[in-house]
A and B are shown apart, each in its own frame.
Chain A
Amino acid sequence: MSDLTRLTITAAREGLASRHFTATELTQAYIDAIEPAGDLNAYVLATPEKALEMAKASDARIAKGEGGRLEGIPLGIKDMFATEGVRTTACSRIIRNFVPRYESTVTSKLWSEGAVLLGKLNQDEFAMGSSTETSAFGCAVNPWRRKGSEQPLVPGGSSGGSAAAVAAHICAGAAGTDTGGSIRQPAAFTGTVGIKPTYGRCSRWGIVAYASSLDQAGPIARSVNDAALLLRSMAGHDPKDSTSADLPVPDYQAAVGGSIKGKRIGIPKEYRVEGMSPEIAALWDKGADMLRDAGAEIVEISLPHTKYALPSYYIVALAEASSNLARYDGVRYGERVDGRDIIEMYEKTRAAGFGAEVRRRIMIGTYVLSAGYYDAYYLKAQKVRTLIKRDFETAFADGIDAVLAPTTPSAAFGIGEKSGADPVEMYLQDVFTVTLNMAGLPGISVPAGRSSEGLPLGLQLIGHPFGEAGLFALAQVIEDAAGRFECHDKWWL
């Protein structure tokens, strides 16, 4: 039955509809695949009993000729999403025993379409990181390895467990979150497809908050079509999130395979950063050729404030994080460490509960918001953010339909390689992804080639606000030309 895990979601749905197999058999195949994949450390909590219960309910609905768009499809969920009755930790010690009494809007939409919960997936603590190395549960491991090497590689982050699980076929698809690249960078590192939708496209209600003006949920999947299918079920207006957009959700799958003839694709010259690896530069050119061959027009554009996206991001995101994470005080939930008074209780609780990267980010955020520094840092960063968004608006007003850029500056790196003394080295991972979060725009990462060492590399397409459908059409052209990226060497077995 293990080949059931090889099916795309689209193929699995057909198999279920034509009764070739049941949702219970499909779910059991994934449960059997998760069990021996412990070396990947992709799941921080597997929920096989709940999964089988949900699959049984799916089978009953399918038997009656009912069922939603994801009926019987087994998914993994990043541990940022509150799941009712299922431990949700954001991979932090400070809420390591938190069991939500409510369900996030995005996951409840997935369940109402019939999806099955396989478990909660590893990530950087509070989504703060680009490798999953900051997880309180230890690093997730990339199923891909360099040719001829057994060195363990990171799956990227922060949604690294999600990307690793999708690539390793231990879930059919996953729900992740992206604040500065946390869906797209791990997707690029694992040969999977990941989309960060427009800010407001998915509800943030019930998702552990990191930086509220940047956070968005989105899917990671094994094909463009699967990602389109998942996003349709995740997106939509929610009165419980005042920033969620009250707009209808299009049928994204209908856009997959659509013509891109005459589309104008911008190549931003500022993304050709100093020291870009020749491999990444060549991949970028190849991607432009793929789109040109399908009838798109390739145009060089300028996004002059690109280099300021990362430094302004680290002010805005950390300021918002310091405020959001103030709630972890040992009073309402989480682990408490006693002190001689309430202040000492707070300080000891937070010192013991937060990992080093989270403590560092909260402190930077606190500093840039503190009296006397607010204007110099936070206000300045928000002004630069206006300019970053204006760059894109100008390009779009000039007739550009989408922007093509690399997703990451390199292929997946080794565990421990970038966790040295200088935190900025890790932050540079987000140099191509973070601009979109700052501008609120949608972006999709799609595998487009391999490094000389055999590792997958991704390209990123950036669209107009709420232009996800157009991105799926473009991404499918790249998938058709580059093929899908399957990790065949299951070394963890």
Chain B
Amino acid sequence: MSVDQATVRRVAHLSRIAVTEEEVAHLQGELNAILAFVEQLGEVDTTGVEPMTSVIPMKLPLRADVVNDGDAAERVLANAPASEDGFFAVPKVVE
């Protein structure tokens, strides 16, 4: 499979990465080189093979359902580019 320039723009938008027109042409070539490289997986017969979900067999541990952390709004917000009254501040999202 190879991607065209419209697909590059769509994937960039899905990735939330702005791209310029010049970048689209570049990226198309680079993405196609990588996709061509991974294409060889098609040679492998995976009929009846389970996809890996955990590389080391382990049971997902459960913790007690109690509050064990929190009350750290100041620490959570310390690196935010914009915050107000204990909240992250973002551009208006609701008209």
- Kindly provide the distance from the CB of A330 to the nearest chain B CB, expressed in whole angstroms: 6
Q: Are B27 and A338 touching (Cβ within 8 A)?
A: no
Chain A residues with CB under 8 A of B56: 198-200, 243, 245, 440, 465
- Kindly provide the distance from the CB of B49 to the nearest chain A CB, expressed in whole angstroms: 4
Answer yes or no: B67 CB below 8 A from chain A CBs.
Answer: no
Taking CB atoms and an 8 Å cut-off, the chain A residues in 342-371 that contact chain B are 342-348, 350-351, 354, 359-360, 362-364, 366-367, 370
Closest partner residue, chain B, to A239 (CB atom): B63
- Kindly provide the distance from the CB of A140 to the nearest chain B CB, expressed in whole angstroms: 24
Measured in the bound complex, the distance between the Cα atoms of B55 and A55 in whole Å is 40
Measured in the bound complex, the distance between the Cα atoms of B16 and A58 in whole Å is 47
Measured in the bound complex, the distance between the Cα atoms of B56 and A206 in whole Å is 21
Chain A residues with CB under 8 A of B12: 363
Chain B residues with CB under 8 A of A344: 18
Q: Are A331 and B46 touching (Cβ within 8 A)?
A: no
Chain A residues with CB under 8 A of B55: 199, 213, 385, 389, 438-440
Chain B residues with CB under 8 A of A332: 76, 79-80, 88
Chain B residues with CB under 8 A of A100: 79
Answer yes or no: A377 CB below 8 A from chain B CBs.
Answer: yes
A interface residues, how many (CB within 8 angstroms): 76
Taking CB atoms and an 8 Å cut-off, the chain A residues in 130-148 that contact chain B are none
One of A62-70, A257-265, A275-283, A305-313 at the interface:
A305-313
- Kindly provide the distance from the CB of B43 to the nearest chain A CB, expressed in whole angstroms: 8
Chain A residues with CB under 8 A of B91: 338-339, 341-342, 345
- Kindly provide the distance from the CB of A184 to the nearest chain B CB, expressed in whole angstroms: 17
Answer yes or no: B6 CB below 8 A from chain A CBs.
Answer: no
Chain B residues with CB under 8 A of A379: 51
Q: Are A363 and B78 touching (Cβ within 8 A)?
A: no
Q: Are B63 and A331 touching (Cβ within 8 A)?
A: no
Answer yes or no: A396 CB below 8 A from chain B CBs.
Answer: no
Chain A residues with CB under 8 A of B37: 311, 314, 424, 427
Answer yes or no: B41 CB below 8 A from chain A CBs.
Answer: yes
Chain B residues with CB under 8 A of A47: none
Q: Are A311 and B40 touching (Cβ within 8 A)?
A: yes
Chain A residues with CB under 8 A of B17: 347, 350-351, 354, 359, 362-363
Q: Given A330-B81, A366-B11, A376-B1, are A423 and B88 also a contact pair (CB < 8 Å)?
A: no
Q: Are B80 and A333 touching (Cβ within 8 A)?
A: yes
Chain A residues with CB under 8 A of B40: 307-308, 311
Q: Are A347 and B13 touching (Cβ within 8 A)?
A: yes
Closest partner residue, chain A, to B20 (CB atom): A351
Chain A residues with CB under 8 A of B54: 243
> Contact check: which of B16, B29, B42, B52 meets A329 at CB < 8 Å?
B16
Q: Are B78 and A101 touching (Cβ within 8 A)?
A: yes
Chain B residues with CB under 8 A of A341: 91-93
Q: Are A387 and B49 touching (Cβ within 8 A)?
A: yes
> Contact check: which of B11, B42, B58, B90 meets A200 at CB < 8 Å?
B58
- Kindly provide the distance from the CB of A8 to the nearest chain B CB, expressed in whole angstroms: 31
Taking CB atoms and an 8 Å cut-off, the chain B residues in 1-36 that contact chain A are 1, 3, 7-8, 11-19, 27, 29-31, 33-35
Measured in the bound complex, the distance between the Cα atoms of B23 and A215 in whole Å is 30
Chain B residues with CB under 8 A of A350: 15-18
Q: Given A342-B90, A366-B15, are A389 and B38 also a contact pair (CB < 8 Å)?
A: no
Q: Given A213-B55, A385-B52, A424-B34, are A322 and B15 also a contact pair (CB < 8 Å)?
A: yes
What are 15 A-B contacts with C-beta separation under 8 Å? A102-B75, A305-B44, A311-B38, A311-B39, A311-B41, A331-B80, A332-B88, A342-B93, A347-B17, A367-B7, A382-B53, A383-B51, A383-B52, A386-B50, A387-B44
Given A311-B39, A363-B11, A440-B55, 15 more A-B residue pairs with CB atoms under 8 Å apart are A97-B79, A101-B75, A101-B76, A239-B61, A315-B41, A336-B81, A341-B93, A347-B16, A351-B19, A359-B17, A379-B51, A386-B50, A422-B30, A424-B33, A424-B34
